[in-house]
Amino acid sequence: MRRFAEQRVLVTGASRGLGRDIALRFASEGASVFIGYRNRRQEAEDCAARCVTFGVEATPIALDLADAASVRAAISGLPALDVLVNNAATVRDQFFFLQSDADDAEVIAINLSGTMACIRAALPGMMRSGKGVVVNVASVAAIHGSPGQASYSASKGGIIALTRTLARELSGRGIRVNAVAPGIFDAGMAQRMDHRVREARLQLLPMGRAGRSEELASVVAFLASDEASYITGQTIAVDGGMTA
């Protein structure tokens, strides 16, 4: 299936983990993919090389989400995007009363303000085209209490609120905005979680296992496709029943 043939897709945080597999999914369905990365250029180039094997174009693009001006400069230099997937994020796990103001500020700057900067930079091209899709990667931490992740949870909760508001603002311009809220997966941040915490949380899941990265990529691709043409402003939890 080539649902995204002749479409241009930017995935932020796509040099590794869930973002890499989301980018590969779009490439496998015919999209030209921009591989957003911050520091891991070699891994971004490796991802691009894998995307090219599907017969599409793939280009690494450096994005420092903590610097809105550089984000604007990078994205404004691209052709109009059909799909923007805001996946890049950082986390600084620590109990709230022990966390520094600097760590709080960094998490909010990258996760929430960085997402806003990417959307703002992509909108002019989408508006000129009269169409476009934004898929924001939030987290179950925004829905389900997650001790030790106050700033991360707040940033992801902000993304869910942003998704709802922009869906209302932009639907009249042919632009849909949705979000996914991943739980524990076999790739991405969950892999860097303390293994004891990870196993304890997995045992509490109704489905009893971590998600596979392709399962999240499938939901993102669905939301970006014409099959979801009447869906906007929604957050889909992909979490094995954690928030059920």
Tokens of 220: 């993102």
Cα 85 to Cα 77: distance, rounded to the nearest angstrom: 17
Catalytic site positions: 152
The DSSP bridge partners found for residue 11 are 35, 85
Count CB atoms within 10 A of the CB of residue 147.
10
Name the DSSP letter for residue 12.
T
3-state helix, strand, coil in the chain (%, to 5): 50, 15, 35
Name the DSSP letter for residue 43.
H
The DSSP bridge partners found for residue 211 are 185
